[in-house]
Amino acid sequence: MRQIIRYGVVGLASNLIIYMAYLLMTRLGVGPKLAMSITYLSGALIGYFGNRQWAFAHRGNAWRAAMRYALAHSMGYLLNFLILLLLVDHLGYAQQWVQALAIIIVAGFLFIVFKFFVFGEKFNHCGTA
């Protein structure tokens, strides 16, 4: 329970800033998928340190965790991109609301992947896996 609360704190803080940047960028004429791509990368970089050190208190191999983290975020990015593509480009929903929804969906997905694959107990021992 402590992990999900800490993950939520890290996520709320970073995603609020990132979402505001996304809204500003789209307001200035940047396309939704490009704005999401730029802000997603920024959020992932910021989130690594907060999630590894505080939310999940990972003490395993930092390099291996970073590689798994990058893989997890690659999947999260693809999920976010597909949500925008489907709901904005094909179904015509407002990109602001779709991106807000996508943040929530991707955050839930990433929590599970972080807990069990990126920073999981299995990966805390002797740098294995």
Q: What is the percent of the chain with per-residue pLDDT over 90, rounded to a whole number?
A: 69
Position 53, amino acid? Q
Annotated domain spans of the chain: 2-123
Residue 129 confidence class, pLDDT cut points 50, 70, 90: very low
Phi, psi of 2 (to 5 degrees): -60, -40
Closest CA to 28 of 41, 40, 14, 38: 38
C-alpha distances in angstroms, 51 versus 27, 29, 97?
30, 32, 26
C-alpha distances in angstroms, 88 versus 14, 56, 96?
24, 34, 9
Interval 40-97: pLDDT, tens: 998 898 889 889 988 898 898 999 999 999 999 999 999 999 999 999 999 999 999 9
pLDDT score for 128: 46
Helices 62-84, 95-113: inter-axial angle, 10-degree rounding: 150
